[in-house]
Structure 1
Amino acid sequence: MPEERIFHLIVEPEAAGERLDVFLSGKIPELTRSRVKKLLACGLVEIPGVKKLKASRPVRAGEEITVRVPPPERIRLEPEEVPFEILYEDRDLAVIVKPPGVVVHPGAGHAGGTLVHGLLRRLSGLSGIGGELRPGIVHRLDKDTSGLMVVAKNDRAHLALTAMFKGRAVEKWYLALVHGVPEPRAGKINAPIGRHPVHRKRMMAGAPRGREAETFYRVREAFRRAALLEVRPYTGRTHQIRVHLSHIGHPIVGDPLYGGRRPQGPKAERQMLHAWRLAFEHPVTGEKLSFEAPPPPDFEKLLEELRACGK
């Protein structure tokens, strides 16, 4: 049976002033900031002499922090038949293609029919580090974003993949259909991303307390009122590509949250964003792996319609 793991950390001078949740998630790759908050709520994070710890508390140089991470909860989800394609599978991981409209893991309003339910049905084993509701999930795609994902089948692979994502060692490319044609036709977007101060479901570029975010884009194909972009996010902030492209005035077609539904220009029922290419070193064997997946039918159909209208 998995056992509780205990981490003893000392805050270096250069880390002084960081939020506690940011510091811990940076030092322990398997922990997200939301998981740190849960550990704090359960009293599993301790700093000598400090009685009440908050996620937002700045850490101080020299402080000793003890973190107790309980063993993964037993998975109690029932497998279901959920559509997705398996491109690659071995004893450590699987690379799959998520269709649009599928939520990655259970949450509020999504008790069934998620990608996790389908993974439990079709894969022989999943890592438990993500907890009861997120077995095998190393990274996520929004519900209406399609494309490539890597899934961990054991804890060793999960920890290694998580560290690779945090260390920016995973190459991710997306295809995005946007309103208008960006100028210049290739460039980097550097704008910190944080929660919108009023609309809590939205993220915002240039937020006062936003986290560093960098996205590269280049125009693959230009149309009269739209463009097909190849996009590579160097960081992994929530809604990063959607926020950054909207920030430069070229929101993704069909994106209701960030201005992608306009009376002029192409229209779509969901955001036209597809995780097209994924490349990384195998976390166990070190083999270089690279995968590509074409966009789904609705994306391809809209592209054909735009091409038929001329450029």
Structure 2
Amino acid sequence: MVSLDEAPAVFSEAEINARLLYRDALILVLDKPAGIAVHKGPKGGENFEASFHHLRFGLPRNPALAHRLDRDTSGCLVLGRHHKALEKLGLMFKQGKIAKTYLAIVEGFPEPDEGLIDLPLGRLDASRGWWMKVDPGGQPAQTRWRVFAQGAGHALLALTPLTGRTHQLRVHCAAKGWPILGDPIYGAGGATPLQLHARRIEIPLYKNKEPIVVEAPVPAHMRAAAEACGLRLEF
């Protein structure tokens, strides 16, 4: 098992196969670890994609990313195994047909116990890359939330993004007054890693069949943070 602090630039075949949650003829779903980028950025560096050559399973090309997760977010990451699969997945993500549920530990107590955040988002400024802010003139962004547990000034939430804006969950939570624990951009940061995990994904990929539902186990660093905050993770 690869630790949060020691995620290598290239995972071995055994290590990345241990993170394979689902596989069929069109897609793969991986359990992405926190602390590593999904792909190589302009400046290079460690990235999860560098290990995808271990996941061909007989096909001539590597699988490719169908969407993105932030460097410090863990959990369900969907890959397309070939071009046609990627086209289909890309359209489904764009049309909002793929349902995603995240777990987050936030600072503060959301009230009521569930609701909808409907705040448009835009880029903070040109010098900050893809940092975002609430912007009345920005793109529409909606997130549903539900409280699982509260304790010691923190809450455990299920977050369902209805749109797919950059940093959407992080900005929305911060804007409501309960930033995600460990968020160095929109929260207080600190020594605690970002407590955001892509727990579940539901993909209605095949006509006349039930949607593919995949869940990623809650990582050790999030269980430790939950325990420190007095929150129980019973899954």
1:103 lines up with 2:37 in the alignment:
yes
Q: Normalized against structure 1, the TM-score is what?
A: 0.65
* 1:173–1:232 Cα contact (<8 Å) kept: yes
Shift of 1:195: 0.3
1:177-210 Cα offsets, whole Å, 9 max, x none, are 00011111211000100001376242001x1431
* 1:281–1:289 Cα contact (<8 Å) kept: yes
Alignment partner for residue 118 of structure 1, among 42, 47, 51?
51
* 2:35–2:71 Cα contact (<8 Å) kept: yes
In structure 2, distance between residues paired with 1:283 and 1:123? 21
Shift of 1:292: 1.1
Q: Which residue of 2 aligns with 1:252?
A: 180
Residues 153, 126 of structure 1: CA spacing in aligned structure 2 closer, same or farther, 3 A cutoff? Answer: farther
Instruction: List gaps (5 residues or longer) in structure 2.
Output: 1-8
Matched AA of 1:81: F
In structure 2, distance between residues paired with 1:138 and 1:289? 15
Residues 211, 158 of structure 1: CA spacing in aligned structure 2 closer, same or farther, 3 A cutoff? Answer: same
Shift of 1:109: 2.6
What is the 5 A alignment of 1:1-311? 80-81=10-11, 83-84=15-16, 85-111=19-45, 113-124=46-57, 125=59, 136-197=64-125, 200-201=128-129, 202-205=131-134, 207-261=135-189, 268-283=191-206, 286-307=209-230
Residues 222, 308 of structure 1: CA spacing in aligned structure 2 closer, same or farther, 3 A cutoff? Answer: closer
Matched AA of 1:119: F
* 1:280–1:288 Cα contact (<8 Å) kept: yes
In structure 2, distance between residues paired with 1:245 and 1:198? 23
**RMSD (CA atoms):** 2.3
In structure 2, distance between residues paired with 1:272 and 1:106? 23
> Helix, strand or coil for the counterpart of 1:302?
helix
Shift of 1:270: 2.0
In structure 2, distance between residues paired with 1:269 and 1:305? 11
Instruction: List gaps (5 residues or longer) in structure 1.
Output: 1-78, 129-134, 262-266
In structure 1, distance between residues paired with 2:168 and 2:65? 19
* 1:177–1:252 Cα contact (<8 Å) kept: yes
* 2:150–2:231 Cα contact (<8 Å) kept: no
Shift of 1:108: 2.2
In structure 1, distance between residues paired with 2:81 and 2:207? 12
* 1:160–1:283 Cα contact (<8 Å) kept: no
Q: Normalized against structure 2, the TM-score is what?
A: 0.85
Q: Percent identity?
A: 36
Matched AA of 1:204: K
* 2:119–2:136 Cα contact (<8 Å) kept: no
Shift of 1:228: 0.3
